[in-house]
Structure 1
Amino acid sequence: MHTTTATSAPGAATRRYLAAMRNRGPLSIDWAAAPTRHKRYPGAERARLPWAAGDGSVLGLIGELLRDLLGMTRLVWSHHLDDRGEPQGRPPLLLTGRPAPSGGGLYPIEAYVAAGEPHLPAALYHYNPVHHELERVRGGDHVPALTGLLVDGPVADMAVVLSAVFWRSMFKYGDFGYRLICQETGVLVAQALAVGGRLGLAGRACLRFPDGEVDRLLGLDGAREAALAVLTFTLPHARAGEPPASSRAGELMSQPAAGESTPLPRAMPDGPAAALHRACTSASLGPSTSPDGGSRDEAGSPELTGALRPRLPAWAGRAVPAPEPAAGAWPAAGVPRRTSPLAGYRPVPLMEGALGGVLVAAGGGYPADLPGAATGPAATALCLLSLRVEGLPRGAYWYDPARHTLHELAGAGQVDAVATGRLLANTRVALRGAAAALVPVGDPVAGAHLFGDRWYRMQQMEAGLVAQRAALAAAALGLATRIHSDGANETTDEVLGLVGTPLRSLSFLAMGTPPTGGPLVARPMPVLVRGEVMPTPATA
């Protein structure tokens, strides 16, 4: 009889990674080793994208989707501040800003687009955010090849693959960068679904696929850069009900791919993160995968959903109705208004309706291949730190999205202890004025028996997704937010009552009223040139 060893047990790589992150020391950063923050295919044929979908064309929709996902959309006038929010006296900078937040502003995520006739020549493209254009990586219709590799084989007219250039984050954050990369992927999934919904594109997030096959299809080596998520979209006036074509991945991979810019980034350094990533890529895709690639369970089955979604804990106190959401708390409306303040918040109470809107946005369902995601977060639960909220006593709460209720976890005296945890100086500054903090929580190994170590990656992505949906809803109401990853620590867990349970805090989103002035001013990027589809000379 086969006996599973400790090293091969489901979730073993996750446990080793978590232990290493608990015991990690201070950062040691070699800024000379920093890679570029975007990649290019210099010799590739290129198609310029429209900046907006104003002309009603499908190409305009694709251009606006990618612009609001990873494009250079803002001009940011920034003064240098130290970690306490104090000016350093250095000259200010004029920077280009992107639509979604990134850990350390390093932007490790790239986007590849598979699309075809009649909107573009059928090919796999790489999105170049600096020039807002598509670079042709390899010819051929990659949409059926990609969808044929997904566990549920969705019908789609376009696929967007989000990949991670690991060294772009890990040169600064080391192994902790892998957690940031996974959460940032979830942030961008939330962003893409919100923007796609605004544009009338039916989107779906796919987190379960054979990593090696998708990487090879994209021409990625899996060590320097690897695919982490696939987004599928149905375009307007697209075919309806047509089953996906059979995958011709092998035929497509036999064609030469365009060469990427050099020098190439370094591969992920060996260590706990690399071991976890290898375990994620070799893990099970989950119980819905049959030997022939078909589906044999329903995504929202009670058995799976009950096993994965954290339940209201026994120690939770009395329930109070959560505030009704304010009008306008629509995540897509917050995309152009999102801000991440560098110097904290004004100590202004959060209105009840604003909190209700944030909770509904974060706790709602979303289209994905995670079991149960259609009805709400499938791998995480939401806790709230009420610091200064109109009508809600200061304290910690567990949010039940099904009943739209808040359950008491800790009182005012206990919640103050969050500020005594292992926090960076800018997080302490933020907590002085923040009105509330949203804390996604979950069991890092609860789904390991179904998905292996891949569960860690999927759960971290969902944590990023719910945080970004909350951030966008807050921005739509004129509020500011910032993810402080260091806020997810042992002290926060203790305040929430998670110590001694399998649950852990996964992320930490502070929110409040932005300063009226201050060191950061952002403006939308002006449109200088009307985009159009055209080949451009193959120059660097």
Structure 2
Amino acid sequence: MTASAPAYPYTPETGGTAARLYHAEYGSRMPYVDLTAPRPEAKSYPEAEAIALPYPPRASAGFRAETPDGLGDLLALTYGVTRIDWSGGGVRAGRPLPSGGAAYPGELYLAAGFGLCHYLPSAHALERLERADARRRIAEALEAQPVERTELILLLTSRHEANLPAFGGFGHKMQALDTGVMAGQALSLIEAAGAELRVHTRFDEARLNEILGLDPRAESVRAVITAGRGRDEPIAVPAFSTDPGASHAGLPRRIMSRHTAADGFEAVSVPLPRVQEILDAAAGEIPSDIRAGHGTEFASLDLYCVANRVDGLEPACYRRSPTTGALGRVRETVDPRTLFPCGGDGELAGFQAACALLIVGDYEHGYRVHGDRWYRMLNLQAGILAQRIGLAATGAGLGSMLRCDYQVKVADRLIHASPGRTVLVAVLIGLEHGVGRPGHRLLLGGYGS
């Protein structure tokens, strides 16, 4: 940070008071969702220089940040249009990651040696906002140091009009989760390319918005990822390889195969080792400016499994030990079957699924250090873990579904949470019903090769 920069957290804070009021009013329960609410047009900069990226992109792990062409695969697999889906509602563009209500409020910007750009998913193109190298200016707005020899910076933003008409105030929490999902996708890909990286959630938001020319009333920066040099080489390894060393190599295939199990799950059991592998994959250290663990300087996330049909587990709630990875049964105070509201879509999906994996965090412990923004930061971290769960489930041959319509008070009693700790998001896991909806993959090597 420069000597003249204001102190973190940079903006006037209430020490968590505003965040507590928001959570009580909006964030602690899923409202009625108006999926017919108008959606804004895709964001674009028609006056900017358009840079077409190589098409079709490859389903491969690798990138080079020296030129725009070297980033096409990374951008497509992070937030592009990777398939065409057919369903009862018609034909639509398929994305490589989920979003609440399919709203996709996020936007993806990047800074590299060739300039500052906005990624346009529908055209698979970059819109160059300026030719000057903005990486130093962006780095100066970060509280934590970026990686050494930063070659690429990704800036993840949220557009408020994309989901607030449908979700109301709850949409702000959804935006944080969506940002985390996108960050988790990018982190997995950059890590698979062998690059050093860090996700930043502590920064001068006003300065970054100014660099991008954003009106914070409409759109604002939510996360920044700094990355070093990556390799650029196509890797042909099956998504479902059982070789532990193939985890990074098979990532593009898992991304191409991953989709929300929109048609539900088969009501069959899954083996306990598969569930444990998924939890272990999600629990890995996040290369972030917030460390994993417990305490005021930590993200303080825990993973729970509400087992329904898991071979080797009685139907009950279990907590994953962060030190050993073992699942220990929680003393229950409510029926696990009441996790989702009676009669809703979540109840049926929860009944069909083999288990619900719960990501649990503590809002209270971070307010003293980070202020109100901790609410958003914690949900972003939860989104990263949720996306890891989805990718790991695909690698295990299972389907997944992110849910926010669980009953928060029931869920917190179910995990026997201490004061301040709460369930942030649930991910249902199971054998997907049928063969999924028909679709056509748009990436080279994206299927069957």
TM range (shorter): 0.7 to 0.9
Matched, 1:130 2:50: no
Q: Is the 8 A contact 1:367 1:373 kept in 2?
A: no
The amino acid that maps onto 1:231 is I
Counterparts in 2 of 1:191 and 1:236: CA distance versus 1, 3 Å: closer
Aligned partner of residue 130 in structure 1, secondary structure: helix
- Deviations along 1:244-268, one digit per CA (max 9) or x if unpaired, are xxxxxxxxxxxxxxxxxxxxxxxxx
The amino acid that maps onto 1:366 is I
Matched, 1:509 2:430: no
- Deviations along 1:504-538, one digit per CA (max 9) or x if unpaired, are 111010010011246x223312569xxxxxxxxxx
| Residue 17 (structure 2) aligns with | 12
Using the TM superposition, give the Cα deviation of residue 129 of structure 1 relative to its aligned residue in structure 2, in angstroms.
0.3
| Residue 48 (structure 2) aligns with | 44
| Residue 79 (structure 1) aligns with | 88
Aligned runs of 1:417-428 on 2, under 5 Å? 417-418=338-339, 421-422=340-341, 425-428=344-347
| Residue 355 (structure 1) aligns with | 275
The amino acid that maps onto 1:202 is E
Moved more, 446-455 or 332-341: 332-341
Aligned length: 413
Matched, 1:96 2:70: no
Matched, 1:406 2:327: yes
Counterparts in 2 of 1:357 and 1:32: CA distance versus 1, 3 Å: closer
The amino acid that maps onto 2:104 is Y
Using the TM superposition, give the Cα deviation of residue 459 of structure 1 relative to its aligned residue in structure 2, in angstroms.
0.3
1-structure distance, mates of 2:406, 2:62: 43
CA root-mean-square deviation? 2.9
Return the match for 2:170 from 153, 162, 176: 176
2-structure distance, mates of 1:402, 1:364: 11
TM-score, normalization by structure 1: 0.71
2-structure distance, mates of 1:200, 1:366: 15
Counterparts in 2 of 1:144 and 1:23: CA distance versus 1, 3 Å: closer
2-structure distance, mates of 1:427, 1:478: 22
Using the TM superposition, give the Cα deviation of residue 159 of structure 1 relative to its aligned residue in structure 2, in angstroms.
0.3
| Residue 230 (structure 1) aligns with | 224
Aligned partner of residue 506 in structure 1, secondary structure: strand
Counterparts in 2 of 1:166 and 1:9: CA distance versus 1, 3 Å: closer
- Deviations along 1:189-226, one digit per CA (max 9) or x if unpaired, are 11001111223333211111000000000110111000
Using the TM superposition, give the Cα deviation of residue 31 of structure 1 relative to its aligned residue in structure 2, in angstroms.
4.1
Matched, 1:525 2:446: no
Counterparts in 2 of 1:202 and 1:395: CA distance versus 1, 3 Å: same
| Residue 337 (structure 1) aligns with | 257
Matched, 1:21 2:15: no
Matched, 1:70 2:79: yes
Q: Is the 8 A contact 2:59 2:443 kept in 1?
A: no
| Residue 474 (structure 1) aligns with | 393
The amino acid that maps onto 2:74 is L
Q: Is the 8 A contact 1:343 1:429 kept in 2?
A: no
Using the TM superposition, give the Cα deviation of residue 177 of structure 1 relative to its aligned residue in structure 2, in angstroms.
0.3
Q: Is the 8 A contact 2:270 2:309 kept in 1?
A: yes
Aligned runs of 1:128-207 on 2, under 5 Å? 128-154=120-146, 155=148, 156-207=150-201
Q: Is the 8 A contact 1:206 1:231 kept in 2?
A: yes
Aligned partner of residue 523 in structure 1, secondary structure: strand
Q: Is the 8 A contact 1:158 1:234 kept in 2?
A: yes
Counterparts in 2 of 1:507 and 1:56: CA distance versus 1, 3 Å: closer
TM-score, normalization by structure 2: 0.85
Using the TM superposition, give the Cα deviation of residue 414 of structure 1 relative to its aligned residue in structure 2, in angstroms.
2.9
Aligned partner of residue 460 in structure 1, secondary structure: helix
2-structure distance, mates of 1:345, 1:146: 44
Gaps of 5+ in 1: 1-6, 81-92, 117-121, 239-324, 529-540
2-structure distance, mates of 1:55, 1:512: 27
Matched, 1:448 2:445: no
Using the TM superposition, give the Cα deviation of residue 43 of structure 1 relative to its aligned residue in structure 2, in angstroms.
1.8
Moved more, 171-180 or 409-418: 409-418
2-structure distance, mates of 1:378, 1:52: 34
**Greater CA radius of gyration, 1 or 2?**
1
The amino acid that maps onto 1:101 is P
| Residue 4 (structure 2) aligns with | none
| Residue 286 (structure 2) aligns with | 366
The amino acid that maps onto 1:485 is C
Counterparts in 2 of 1:139 and 1:526: CA distance versus 1, 3 Å: closer
2-structure distance, mates of 1:326, 1:213: 46
| Residue 396 (structure 1) aligns with | 317
Counterparts in 2 of 1:100 and 1:207: CA distance versus 1, 3 Å: same
| Residue 354 (structure 2) aligns with | 435
Gaps of 5+ in 2: 1-11, 233-240
1-structure distance, mates of 2:342, 2:203: 36
